[in-house]
Chains A and B, each alone.
Chain A
Amino acid sequence: MQELIKRAKELLADGTVVRVLGWKAGDLPYNPEPAYFAKDTDFADFVYNGFCGANLSKYMIEASKMEGKTLVFLKPCDTYSFNQLLKEHRVEREKAYIIGVGCKGKLDIEKIKALGIKGIQSISGAELTDEAETLTVQTLYGEKTCAYKDAMLERCHVCKGKEHKIYDELLLTSRDTTDADRFAEVARIEGLSPEEKFAFFQKELGKCIRCNACRNVCPACSCRKCVFDSNKFDSSQKANADSFEEKMFHIIRAFHVAGRCTDCGECSRVCPQGIPLHLFNRKFIKDIDEFYGEYQAGEDVDADAPLTSFTFEDVEPSVVSTRS
């Protein structure tokens, strides 16, 4: 972490950048927030640890509008998002100085709490430099421990790899965290009967409170004004009538980001109701891979996106009912 601060200060000092976008320690051990740093003294609160899951790419949309260059710290997975935003002209490359930071998997406080750990006072073992495999948590109800792996975000278990796709320089090393099949859960659901599938999603989406956190955190959902907020389709934004509303929202949202979603996992990370929203996006990714060839959004800025290209021999929509 000190390397990051040191380098950021240097780049501020030599005028390469005028501000730094990173993470600031929160008032609890696990809630750092995205923040800008401009003066040396700001860095007292700078933090980079296992809880810095937030993908800073989307903030670069706003940062691109600001005067001068912004130093941004991007984790390997965040760089895919940055590339995708670049492809869509939503961020400006010249306005960003990207330091690719290493990652050993990010932590999910909900998972820690789900293990029955509550009244948290402090957590050790969440630093990137920490070689420990275990988190030690001091709580009001005594000291608790849990394996780092068990507290990792779902997305880190199916990590796309620790290679940065765009950067000006790299700092800190990463650790491979992939230990699960990215499409296993999608495949499992595909194998269910229509009744079971429906019951599964009905239960999950029934929890949705239409808070829009998934949409607003999503780097692909970068529309100035979402269709669900405009009167173009008079589709209301806020009602959760516990009927069709949420389905429409989530299907259309997934469709709008199909071929653009990098699978960064932010939607699932922030959902206050713990809805596995990535299952929608990943379904599209899986289908796109199967129907039109493997495609990873954000990997290559110049690649043709699957929904804005075609081949004469594409499968017919009837494939949905004919494939086993």
Chain B
Amino acid sequence: MQRIGVFVCHCGSNIAATVDVEKVVEIIRQEPGVVHAEDYQYMCSEVGQAKIADAIHEKGLTGIVVCSCSPRMHETTFRKAAERAGLNPYMVEIANIREHCSWIHKDVEEATKKAVILARAAIAKVNLNAPLKPGESRVTKRALIIGGGIAGIQTALDIADAGYEVDIVEKTPSIGGRMSQLDKTFPTLDCSACILTPKMVEASAHEKITIYTYSEVEKVTGFVGDFTVDIRKKARSVDMDKCTGCGVCQEKCPSKKAPSEFNRGLSNRSAIYTPFAQAIPNVPVIDREHCLKFQKGKCGVCAKVCQAGAIDYEQKDEIVTEKYGAIVVATGFDVIKLDNYDEYAYSQSKDVITSLELERIMNAAGPTKGHLERLSDGKAPREMVFIQCVGSRCADDRGKSYCSKICCMYTAKHAMLIRDKYPDVNVTVFYIDVRTPGKNFDEFYRRAVEDFGVNYIKGQVGKVAPQPNGRLLVQASDLLDNRQIKMEADMVVLAAAIEPNPDVRKIATMLTASIDTNNFLTEAHAKLRPVESPTAGVFLSGVCQGPKDIPETVAQAGAAAVKAIGLLAKDKLLTNPCTAHSDELLCNGCSTCANVCPYGAITYEVRQVNDHGIREDRRLAVVNEALCQGCGACTVACPSGAMDLKGFSNRQILAEVDAICQ
């Protein structure tokens, strides 16, 4: 029997307002095995933790139950407190009487009763706890960055600068990501390419960084410190080593009808192409779907014109297998599809465009060489309308429930730039709210309104209708003046919501990292561990975690890098001690457990056992504790109950069941 101390936390009034904490202590004090029980305002505070240590010393406690917030919050805190006082940290159990009790119940009597039962279950469990000691596993000193946008590049640079090998895997033919498509950046109006390109060059030149473009992560196995990843290098059809990047092939390529991804389909590119002039690597790829050689079997112009002999039509996908200690996800975002917003006539009129398309139009390397003109007829617009929150902050399931965060600022930027360059163009912005928290952001917005005369109207646009005269009729309501507006515009720009790159789902599954309902990767803790995934060794960089602008992305990229560096700097990791363990006297050696182990952590060996005097050679399951992650699949597959899980043993769980059902 353990000597158990129970500590009940008030959590200010978070718990104490609904749970009669003193009463819980009174009742629990009477439980067999409980030799100490007390309550305190904030158990997680220094003072609270000291109370645990004191009780361990004074009462000789061998087991601790803390009735407090979720174990996901402070289990580690209390385990460390117990450890400092000389108790094995795994002799601590948490009864979650906040998230699972006080916060969801209103009736004090009922909540108090439940808190007592949850405490009893924790006591029942801790009675069967055994001291556990973590094992050790090695750390491969190499990081993988999935995604080569500004987030991935920044993370890679920071990790590489700390002296660790980094590989970037980028799906498209070049690194650069969304930022490379932007024209200017707010609030400073720097040229995006001007600040991005040096970073791209730095990354490609960095001796510690290897860049895999036109490549995808195919398979991930292993665990923190020791991931094994298969990377599929898609066939580029161009020999990276031979190509000089002269660009002749692209010029001579007869197939020029492929929509340019870089220009959001607003212009065409050749079948052999680099996405943009500053692409890194400056090595083109052949888009086999549009290549005449691949489609029709005839052509071969590029091969003929290439003086370096770099064209290789026979090239095949290649799988590279590499080991990593840390993985950073930086898969970024895309703009949502506007199929659900037909009222804005995006599919009907070429002059209704998204903000990202406007970026390309405004850009000197864009489809209109930087001239603001209507895509339908090439005429200069006189009247421009911006519609905010298209698919963001949506109450129904037509769009996204969240705020895309960047739209207010880039719209102010667009409006300002247009008014600056084309002062005769009227700009009207329809908005729900203008959100400009951030350094120099509100000033920026006010300049757009006050200095550049952008017309901001609080109200929603109901409909955009193409008119026979080629213009667009915008019907909207002005909520402040409480009036209906009908106006004609030459161009309408939609601030479409952003969403995580759709591929992130596949990647999250491979990494066993959780994602939320909007496909954003989940943080280990929303506030305290925002750049870590709950899956150890996986870190989050950029918009894959949630909408953010460039400075925030770069800041987070650095934070993710620091977390990864913190991991890579270690030679060994302590492994989770809650691993499976096989009782050799009960094991049948039947291999059933190995069949369900996702980590290949179970092997078999023939060994002599002494079964109460009977000595015989038996085939026995052996768990590799460095590989075992403690899921427990094997424990249920094992019919004899030989396989058990430390920290969540059969008897512990059954004791909890019994305590709850009594």
Q: Per the CB under 8 Å rule, do A and B touch in the complex?
A: yes
* A binding-site residues for B, Cβ under 8 Å: 65, 88-90, 222-227, 230, 232-234, 256-257, 304-305, 307-309
* Contact A230–B641 (Cβ < 8 Å): yes
With A65-B616, A232-B650, A234-B654: A90-B588 Cβ-Cβ less than 8 Å: yes
With A227-B641, A234-B651: A88-B592 Cβ-Cβ less than 8 Å: yes
Q: Complex Cα distance A90/B618, Å?
A: 10
* Contact B637–A308 (Cβ < 8 Å): yes
* Contact A232–B641 (Cβ < 8 Å): yes
With A65-B616, A234-B654: A227-B592 Cβ-Cβ less than 8 Å: no
Q: Complex Cα distance A103/B651, Å?
A: 46
Contacts A224-B586, A224-B611, A227-B640 supplied; 12 other A-B pairs, CB < 8 Å = A88-B588, A88-B592, A90-B588, A90-B589, A90-B590, A224-B587, A224-B640, A230-B640, A232-B583, A232-B644, A256-B639, A305-B595
Q: Complex Cα distance A85/B641, Å?
A: 18
Q: List 30 A-B contacts (CB under 8 A).
A: A65-B616, A88-B590, A88-B591, A88-B592, A89-B589, A90-B588, A222-B588, A223-B586, A223-B588, A223-B639, A224-B588, A224-B611, A225-B586, A225-B640, A226-B640, A227-B639, A227-B640, A230-B586, A230-B640, A232-B586, A232-B650, A232-B651, A233-B650, A233-B654, A256-B639, A304-B595, A305-B592, A307-B637, A308-B592, A309-B595
Residues of A within 8 A of B592 (CB): 88, 305, 308
Partner of B595, one of A226, A227, A308: A308
Q: Does chain A have a CB within 8 A of B585? A: yes
Q: Complex Cα distance A223/B589, Å?
A: 10
Q: A-B contact count, CB below 8 Å?
A: 58
Q: Complex Cα distance A227/B587, Å?
A: 11
Instruction: List B residues 567-615 near A (Cβ within 8 Å).
Output: 583, 585-592, 595-596, 604, 611
Main secondary structure of the interface of A (DSSP, over half): loop
Instruction: Indicate with 1 or 0, residue by residue over B334-348, a CB within 8 angstroms of chain A CB atoms.
Output: 000000000000000
With both beta carbons as reference points, the residue of chain A lying nearest to B633 in the complex is identified as A308
- Which of B595, B616, B644 has the largest count of A CB atoms less than 10 A from its CB? B595
Residues of B within 8 A of A65 (CB): 616
- Which of B585, B590, B591, B616 has the largest count of A CB atoms less than 10 A from its CB? B590
Task: Give the interface size class of chain B.
Answer: 20 to 34
Residues of B within 8 A of A225 (CB): 585-586, 640
* Contact B619–A89 (Cβ < 8 Å): yes
Q: Complex Cα distance A230/B644, Å?
A: 13
Q: Complex Cα distance A222/B611, Å?
A: 17
Residues of A within 8 A of B583 (CB): 232
Residues of A within 8 A of B654 (CB): 233-234
Q: Complex Cα distance A234/B128, Å?
A: 13
Instruction: Indicate with 1 or 0, residue by residue over B76-117, a CB within 8 angstroms of chain A CB atoms.
Output: 000000000000000000000000000000000000000000
- Which of A88, A226, A232, A307 has the largest count of B CB atoms less than 10 A from its CB? A232
With both beta carbons as reference points, the residue of chain A lying nearest to B609 in the complex is identified as A224
Quote the shortest CB–CB distance from A156 to chain B (angstroms): 28
Q: Complex Cα distance A65/B589, Å?
A: 14
Q: Complex Cα distance A227/B604, Å?
A: 21
Instruction: Indicate with 1 or 0, residue by residue over B632-662, a CB within 8 angstroms of chain A CB atoms.
Output: 0000010111001000001100100000000
Q: Complex Cα distance A89/B588, Å?
A: 8
Residues of A within 8 A of B588 (CB): 88, 90, 222-224
Residues of B within 8 A of A90 (CB): 588-590
With both beta carbons as reference points, the residue of chain B lying nearest to A304 in the complex is identified as B595
Residues of B within 8 A of A234 (CB): 651, 654
Q: Complex Cα distance A65/B619, Å?
A: 12
Residues of B within 8 A of A233 (CB): 641, 650-651, 654
Quote the shortest CB–CB distance from B151 to chain A (angstroms): 30
Q: Complex Cα distance A173/B648, Å?
A: 54
With both beta carbons as reference points, the residue of chain A lying nearest to B592 in the complex is identified as A308
Instruction: List B residues 493-542 near A (Cβ within 8 Å).
Output: none
Residues of B within 8 A of A307 (CB): 637
Residues of A within 8 A of B596 (CB): 308
Q: Complex Cα distance A231/B637, Å?
A: 18
Quote the shortest CB–CB distance from B130 to chain A (angstroms): 14
Q: Complex Cα distance A222/B639, Å?
A: 10
Q: Complex Cα distance A117/B596, Å?
A: 51
Q: Complex Cα distance A222/B604, Å?
A: 18
Instruction: List B residues 242-293 near A (Cβ within 8 Å).
Output: none
Q: Complex Cα distance A227/B640, Å?
A: 5
Residues of A within 8 A of B641 (CB): 227, 230, 232-233
Q: Complex Cα distance A226/B641, Å?
A: 8
With both beta carbons as reference points, the residue of chain B lying nearest to A235 in the complex is identified as B654
Quote the shortest CB–CB distance from B185 to chain A (angstroms): 42
Residues of B within 8 A of A308 (CB): 592, 595-596, 637
With both beta carbons as reference points, the residue of chain B lying nearest to A253 in the complex is identified as B639
Quote the shortest CB–CB distance from A247 to chain B (angstroms): 16
With both beta carbons as reference points, the residue of chain B lying nearest to A222 in the complex is identified as B588
